[in-house]
Amino acid sequence: MVGAGVLSLPYAMSELGWYTLWQMVEMHEMVPGKRFDRYHELGQHAFGDKLGLWIVVPQQLIVEVGVNIVYMVTGGRSLKKFHDVICDGKCKDIKLTFFIMIFASVHFVLSQLPNLNSISGVSLAAAVMSLSYSTIAWGASVDKGKMVDVDYNLRATTTPGKVFGFFGALGEVAFAYAGHNVVLEIQATIPSTPEKPSKKPMWKGVVVAYIVVALCYFPVALIGYWAFGNSVDDNILITLNKPTWLIATANMMVVIHVIGSYQIYAMPVFDMIETVLVKKLKFPPGLTLRLIARTLYVAFTMFVAITFPFFGGLLGFFGGFAFAPTTYFLPCIMWLAIYKPKRFSLSWFTNWVCIVLGVCLMILSPIGGLRQIILDSKTYKFYS
């Protein structure tokens, strides 16, 4: 039932991502003299002040908190893999829980940086690391070669298992192509004038980012599957073990990458939390507020990651439940509400196709991801 067309799904998702990301960049300065520097500000312009907040903010929070939880798990698992590869069985085994706590300790410090501009160096290092460890992943897979008993059949043996696995995989692909939730905040850091709007340099940056995405994702996906078939782990670097120094380096690169990525997704959450505390609850702004609020947030994501360290299941669940709305169809709904293209025109039709596909993704993917989390939890000893 599921044929070779599955191989085109990453490409299809990237195409949807291109279109909706272009929409977000275009709508940033659609009103002369005004910049929509936050996702919820654009939502308020499209749907009204109150409705816009209720539509956008909950979904954006789910995305950003969900990503931070996944990055906590990723950072902890990569640190543990680094430790295990270097020690090669000669060291005492350390629980994953402690590695997640070690990874979180970095964020207790970095989270005190005031804004996105202040973490630009961390962000650049994260991008370089992403390209580097992806290259190592597919290069090491080529060097290792195809496994003797490689199996390309679906991992599940039952029809329900195959269907739910497919749903979860859709969410994982959606997760990989979703950066829309922070694109306006990133664009807000670019200077803009009527003669030189920020959308031009921003779009150049988007194009470069997607080229890097293609260079990272497609070789890893295709070569990793060719080498290991259905026995590959949800993180391919966990599957690879040789050469030791190279795999250890790659895992440390992953750690550096997710350190930067965590902060990029956490900054908008910090902004929302502190705005509510200052404006609604009348907390005095300043270092004390930042120290308490941000430390508690990092501690919360660390606790959830320690409790549910299921990388693949979390990707599938959050990819569909949270990323699909804010990435694949909410920008299209905003576009229709603001520009009101003529019915059955190319713009109207394209947006509705994205909306329908995005809604299907939002409904189906969390089912597969949640099922995988439940299955993993049956054999997992919590806080081990």
Mean pLDDT value of segment 243-247: 76
- Does the pLDDT of residue 156 top 70, yes or no? no
- Whether the link from the prior residue into 243 is cis, omega within 30° of 0, is yes
CB 264, CB 113: distance < 8 Å: no
> Containing H/E element for 118?
none
The reported pLDDT for the residue numbered 297 is: 93
The reported pLDDT for the residue numbered 311 is: 60
CB 105, CB 129: distance < 8 Å: no
Q: Which residue has the tokens 């799904």?
A: 9
| Chain centre distance of CA 85 | 26
The reported pLDDT for the residue numbered 299 is: 94
Top-level class of domain 4-379: mainly alpha
**CA–CA distance, 42 with 25 (Å, rounded to integer):** 11
pLDDT digits (tens, 9 = 90+) for 297-318: 999 999 988 887 766 666 666 6
DSSP-derived letter for residue 229 is G
pLDDT band for 251, please (50, 70, 90 cuts): confident
| Chain centre distance of CA 343 | 34
What sign does the CA torsion over 94, 95, 101, 103 have? positive
Mean pLDDT value of segment 269-287: 84
What does the DSSP assignment read for 322-352?
IIIIIIIIHHHHHHHHHH-PPTTSHHHHHHH
Encoded amino acid at 51, one letter? L
pLDDT band for 4, please (50, 70, 90 cuts): very low
The reported pLDDT for the residue numbered 171 is: 67
**CA–CA distance, 13 with 200 (Å, rounded to integer):** 24
pTM for this structure? 0.76
Burial class (CB in 10 A: 0-12, 13-18, 19+), 259: buried
CB 20, CB 332: distance < 8 Å: yes
Query: Which pair of structure tokens corresponds to residue 278?
Result: 């200052």
What does the DSSP assignment read for 146-208?
--TT---S-S--SHHHHHHHHHHHHHHHHHHT--GGGHHHHHTTS---SSS-THHHHHHHHHH
- Does the pLDDT of residue 48 top 80, yes or no? yes
- Does the pLDDT of residue 9 top 50, yes or no? no
3-state secondary structure of 270: helix
Q: Which of 246-250, 330-334, 353-357 has the lowest mean pLDDT?
A: 246-250
CB 28, CB 36: distance < 8 Å: yes
- Does the pLDDT of residue 13 top 60, yes or no? no
CB neighbourhood size of 268 (10 A): 21
pLDDT digits (tens, 9 = 90+) for 349-378: 888 988 888 888 788 777 777 777 777 776
CB 362, CB 324: distance < 8 Å: yes
Per-domain residue ranges for the chain?
Answer: 4-379
**CA–CA distance, 93 with 73 (Å, rounded to integer):** 18
